[in-house]
Amino acid sequence: MALDNAAVRKIARLARIEVTEAEVEHYAKELNAILGWIEQLSEVKTDNIAPMSRVVDMKLPMRKDIVSDGGKQADIIVNAPETAAGYFVVPKVVE
């Protein structure tokens, strides 16, 4: 599949990108090269390859699910520009 200049202009318009006439041919060549790589990937034989989500089969380490208050309130609000009673003070956004 090859893109002509009209297709590049349409893609640019859909993407809301301003492209000059001088850039149209350059982008047509770039996009055609990318499409060439994609066509080349379709030639790879993957019939006997099982789908996988990662290269190494591993499990995430589990931790105990312990409920706590965190105990870090003072550390968290220390950099806040304004606090009141241990909470962040933010501007009112709803009238």
The dihedral sign for the CA sequence 21, 26, 27, 29: positive
Nearest to 22 by CA among 12, 14, 35: 12
Answer whether 0.85 is exceeded by the pTM: no
Q: Could you read off the pLDDT of 10-48 as tens digits, one per residue? A: 999 999 999 999 999 999 999 999 999 999 988 888 888
Domain ranges of the chain: 5-41
Q: Are 12 and 19 in contact (CB under 8 A)?
A: yes
Question: What is the chain's mean pLDDT, rounded?
Answer: 89
Please give the backbone phi and psi of residue 25, each rounded to the nearest 5 degrees, phi first.
-65, -40
